[in-house]
Amino acid sequence: MQTTTSFRRLAAHLARGGLIAYPTEYCYGLGCDPRNRNAVRRLLRLKQRPQHKGLILIANKYAQLAPYLQALTPAEQATLKNDGAQAITYLMPVKASCPRWLRGAHDTLAVRLTAHREAATLCHVLNMPLVSTSANRSGGKPARTYAQCQRLFGAQVWVLPGRVGKRRKPSTICSWVDGRIVRN
């Protein structure tokens, strides 16, 4: 993984609105600082993804997601953590202050507490959640390696080395309120 110096450089890159690609459970994720509207717009343009679809945020702990979501009980927080270990992404009710640029046309936000070691470490060291959408152009096959990300995005994205997890498909997406599976 990265050194302390490279994490500082990475944090500065994100603060300036930079984009990153990093390994996750299934493929490389394309991400940015979710608080930076311009970065999110750049990511959507690069990916050719419409804003109305919304995005996923990953984090290594609930406290990183709390500013965006309606409050959870300790038991609900434990469920979120346990299900994150199984790569379950939840569509969760949001606070009124949650930006549209993240949730799109929805009143929910897709979130996951990632158990992928490298992605979780990234969120931990940066002390923030990350936008996490598959590293591809909309409709294209997701990149699963560092080299594929480099070819796909070139200098537009800081690609972090690492290994994707062993999953053979993207995370399951489930409604928090009623348990309905949206993507399996």
pLDDT tens digits for 170-180? 999 999 999 99
pLDDT tens digits for 2-22? 567 788 999 999 999 999 999
pLDDT at 1 over 60: no
| pLDDT for the residue 175 | 97
Nearest to 85 by CA among 67, 58, 50, 64: 58
| pLDDT for the residue 42 | 97
| pLDDT band per the 50, 70, 90 thresholds, residue 29 | very high
Residue 95: how many other CB atoms lie within 10 Å: 12
| pLDDT for the residue 2 | 58
The residue-averaged pLDDT of 87-102 equals 97
Q: Which residues of 25-35 are buried (b: 16+ CB within 10 A; e: fewer)?
A: bbbbbbbbbbb
pLDDT tens digits for 32-85? 999 999 999 999 999 999 999 999 999 999 999 999 999 999 999 999 999 988
pLDDT tens digits for 103-126? 999 999 999 999 999 999 999 999
Longest dimension (CA), the chain: 44
Q: Which domain holds residue 176?
A: 4-183
Number of domains comprising the chain? 1
CATH code: domain of residue 44: 3.90.870.10
Q: Which long-range CB contacts under 8 A does 38-45 form with residues at least 24 apart?
A: 39/14, 40/101, 40/102, 40/131, 41/101, 42/17, 43/19, 43/131, 43/133
